Amino acid sequence: MNKSSITKIGVFTSGGDAPGMNAAIRAVVRSCSYHNVETWGITRGYEGMIDGEMSKLGTRSVGNIIQRGGTILKCARSDSFKTKEGRAKAIANLRKHGIDGLVAIGGDGTFRGLHELIKDSGIPAISIPGTIDNDIAGTDYTIGYDTATNTAVEAIDRIRDTALSHNRLFFIEVMGRHSGYIAINSAIAGGAVAVIIPEEHTSFDSLYTLLEQTGKANKKSSLVVVAEGSRIGGAMELARMVTERSSYFDIKVTILGHLQRGGSPTYFDRVLASHMGLAAVEGLLQGKTDCMVGVQHGKMVLNPFEDIMNGQTHEIDREALRLAKILST
Ligand code: ADP
């Protein structure tokens, strides 16, 4: 039973989209319904909030979406929300419709925006981490990361199937401008010889030496997974550097790009999003605000925005990195 004063919760998706966001929207709507609270869907994130794009969502309106990638509420970036005037328009629209609680699904930019909105309006708000990069402090997993990594692994498997000739060297670039999570785990699961991530400096010389060794070890093909935020260059750049040094390798490059953002979410992302949606709604109804739902050591938690935004990062898993290196020989 809902004993809080909240009667209408607005939900929106913002920043970059991620598979599983729809499952989170569905969970928010149905958890609200269970607690006798109305849900309002705000389309196009903060931009839609400023433009007054919001309407009531019933439990039936989120049927048949749990398995769909993307987001039915659409994502957008909004420069005007960064201004006090922009936020004032958004707040006026929320008040006009009586929205007295918010759930935001997005990345750290979205959280920063929400923090400002709470400061300006006092409207309680909780966020849910939705980003394929898994780069948010305060949670072991973000919605979309598992799906994106599975997509990368499937692509790596397909690329490996074509690698029948000797000395073929593949550079496969995966998403992760600041985070090597997708790269490390797709490298382990895809059996790569090396992984290059933004968090760790790898010199080109050491990479080249490793590739020479694997060539001499009679490997039929070598796959190198490169995160897009690699400090020594992306897949194209690395391929060019190797070609300049030697004609020994037959080099191929694949950049997976936005392929990793789409597709049906995995069971893991659907379940994670469902738990997070319920936790966000129940957190608001228990009087929590200015915090993010996370999963830590298998349990749902609520961490204050201040802690998450205070320069903290989701540290890369050093043991996974060590594992990738040991098993690649
Ligand atoms: P993500 O949420 O995926 O990190 P962005 O960084 O693009 O994506 O942030 C999403 C939106 O959040 C931005 O377009 C902007 O409207 C809002 N936002 C980000 N930072 C701030 C801020 N410091 N103040 C107010 N709004 C912000």
Residues 242, 292 share a domain: no
Reading phi first (left if > 0) and then psi (alpha if -120 to 50, else beta), residue 134 is in left
Which residue in the block uniquely carries the two structure tokens 């692509």?
155
Mean pLDDT throughout 180-199? 96
* Cα–Cα distance list, 329 to 109, 235, 307 (Å): 40, 21, 40
- Centre of ligand 1 to C-alpha 267, Å, is 28
Give the domain extent around 216.
146-262
Q: CATH number of the domain at 239, please.
A: 3.40.50.460
Residue to probe by mutation, ligand 1, list 80, 110, 290, most atoms within 8 Å of CB: 110
Asked whether residue 326 is domain-assigned, the answer is no
- Centre of ligand 1 to C-alpha 190, Å, is 34
Residues 303, 162 share a domain: no
Mean pLDDT taken over the chain: 94
Share of the chain above pLDDT 90, in %: 85
Q: How many domains does the chain have?
A: 2
What pLDDT does 316 receive? 87
Residue 1 scores a pLDDT above 50: no
Residues 26, 127 share a domain: yes
- Work out whether the CA dihedral 152, 157, 162, 168 comes out positive or negative: positive
Least confident stretch, 68-77, 96-105, 212-221, 264-273: 212-221
Share of the chain above pLDDT 70, in %: 97
d(CA 34, CA 123): 22
pLDDT of 200-246, one tens digit each?
988 999 999 999 888 777 776 789 999 999 999 999 999 999 999 98
Asked whether residue 140 is domain-assigned, the answer is yes
Q: Is 326 exposed, middle or buried (0-12, 13-18, 19+ CB in 10 A)?
A: exposed
Other Cβ atoms less than 10 A from the Cβ of 258: the count is 10
Residues 210, 132 share a domain: no
133 included as an active-site residue? yes
Asked whether residue 1 is domain-assigned, the answer is no
pLDDT of 287-308, one tens digit each?
999 999 999 999 999 999 988 8
What pLDDT does 216 receive? 75
